């Protein structure tokens, strides 16, 4: 496909070719070599690749190197073989954080999808002021997660927080939202609050692009609205639901800012990346921290690869 297109391209009297004719008999300059038909596409990609090698792949291999060493940022790294990994296997704190991250993933994505679907169905019509309403609902997505979590920490404060004051005014007991058994769910709540508009808008765009005639046919045939929803709307939305799940999972695995803004990893809220951060930058155990980072990277890659395959399948089925 690509090769075919480029063959078509060279047929046109492109600037490079006519330039080569007038300057015949001279070796092409570096610029001409870079922009000729064969090389140009690669010239365009090279800056990106260089950047990724320096900033993404080099650190990855550097992390792997450190994970086989002991180092506390002083002196030089000492080779320690698999010791860090052996320690990691038996480290309950790490695996508890791992499980907790999965828990957050499942809770947040499920509720975001349900809320998002509800809102998308609600706003899937023309109404007065729809642009203003949608614009306002979009806002949380554009505000820094850190700022929002600081804000929620304030709102959920036991004594002065607005939420507890409202609860008190309505005759309920005040709730200590940051208690060890609640803090994780409170963080989930903040995340869901910020991100359900994302699902809502992606699904809304999906609903708007559905073919109308199919739904009219279903109505003529007397299908109830719930039946139409379950048998027509939901299957047609499934590729988008997959996209939301994949993207949100990618972002949620690295959930970090709400922890900084609220509990700072205390009371049972340490997640995967937080533990890596704490080991590397608070305890300065670079070797062990790198081993954790590598394991968490590998887990993320496996998860993403599986989900990407699912995504591709459902997109193909949707066509």
Binders of other proteins in range 39-58 (CB under 8 A): 41-45, 47-49, 51-52, 55-58
Element (DSSP H or E) covering residue 169: helix 162-169
Reading the block at residue 40, the tokens are: 């140009």
Region binding other proteins by CB under 8 A among candidate stretches 89-97, 147-155, 214-222, 223-231 = 147-155
Q: Which of residues 16-35 bind other proteins (CB under 8 A)?
A: 16
Q: Which is nearer to other proteins, 173 or 221 (CB)?
A: 173
Nearest C-alpha neighbor of 116 from the set 194, 225, 185: 194
Sketch the per residue contact string, 300 through 319, with other proteins: x for CB under 8 A, - otherwise.
xx--x---------------
Kindly report the number of other CB atoms within 10 A of residue 188's CB atom: 21
Q: Among 113, 177, 197, 263, which residue sits at the site for other proteins (rule: CB under 8 A)?
A: 197
Q: Closest distance between other proteins and the C-beta of residue 127, in Å?
A: 7
Sketch the per residue contact string, 254 through 293, with other proteins: x for CB under 8 A, - otherwise.
x-xx--xx----------xx--xx--xx----x--xx-xx
Region binding other proteins by CB under 8 A among candidate stretches 80-88, 181-189, 218-226, 296-304 = 296-304
Buried b (16+ CB within 10 A) or exposed e, 9-35: eeeeeeeeeeeeeeeeeeeeeeeeeeb
Q: Which of residues 78-137 bind other proteins (CB under 8 A)?
A: 119, 122-123, 127, 131, 133-137
Q: Among 81, 142, 213, 220, which residue sits at the site for other proteins (rule: CB under 8 A)?
A: 142
Q: Which is nearer to other proteins, 191 or 290 (CB)?
A: 290
Cα–Cα distance for residue pair 173/127, rounded to 1 Å: 39
Q: How many residues bind other proteins (CB under 8 A)?
A: 100
Q: Which of residues 211-250 bind other proteins (CB under 8 A)?
A: 239-240, 243, 250
Nearest C-alpha neighbor of 297 from the set 133, 117, 125, 62: 62
Cα–Cα distance for residue pair 258/143, rounded to 1 Å: 13
CB 269 within 8 A of CB 263: yes
Q: Where do the DSSP E strands lie in 81-204?
A: none
């Amino acid at each position: 496909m690509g090769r075919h297109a480029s063959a078509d391209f060279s047929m046109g009297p492109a600037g490079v070719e006519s330039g080569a004719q007038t300057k015949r008999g001279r070796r092409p300059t570096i610029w001409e070599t870079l922009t000729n038909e064969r090389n140009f596409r690669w010239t365009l990609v090279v800056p990106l690749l260089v950047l990724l090698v320096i900033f993404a792949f080099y650190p990855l291999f550097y992390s792997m190197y450190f994970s086989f060493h002991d180092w506390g940022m002083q002196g030089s790294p000492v080779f320690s073989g698999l010791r860090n990994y052996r320690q990691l296997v038996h480290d309950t704190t790490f695996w508890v954080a791992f499980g907790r991250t999965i828990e957050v993933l499942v809770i947040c994505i499920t509720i975001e999808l349900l809320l998002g679907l509800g809102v998308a169905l609600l706003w899937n019509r023309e109404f007065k002021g729809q642009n203003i309403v949608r614009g306002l609902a979009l806002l949380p997505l554009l505000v820094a997660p850190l700022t929002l979590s600081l804000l929620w920490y304030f709102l959920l404060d036991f004594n002065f927080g607005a939420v507890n004051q409202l609860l008190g005014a309505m005759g309920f007991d005040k709730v200590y939202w940051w208690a060890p058994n609640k803090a994780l769910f409170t963080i989930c709540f903040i995340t869901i609050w910020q991100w359900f508009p994302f699902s809502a808008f992606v699904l809304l765009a999906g609903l708007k692009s559905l073919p109308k005639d199919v739904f009219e046919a279903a109505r003529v045939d007397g299908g109830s609205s719930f039946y139409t929803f379950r048998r027509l709307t939901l299957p047609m939305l499934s590729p988008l639901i997959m996209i939301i799940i994949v993207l949100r999972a990618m972002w949620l695995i690295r959930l970090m800012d709400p922890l900084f803004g609220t509990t700072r990893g205390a009371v049972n809220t340490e997640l995967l990346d937080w533990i890596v951060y704490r080991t590397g930058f608070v305890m300065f155990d670079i070797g062990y921290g790198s081993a954790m980072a590598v394991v968490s990277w590998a887990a993320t890659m496996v998860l993403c690869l599986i989900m990407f395959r699912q995504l591709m399948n459902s997109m193909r089925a949707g066509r």
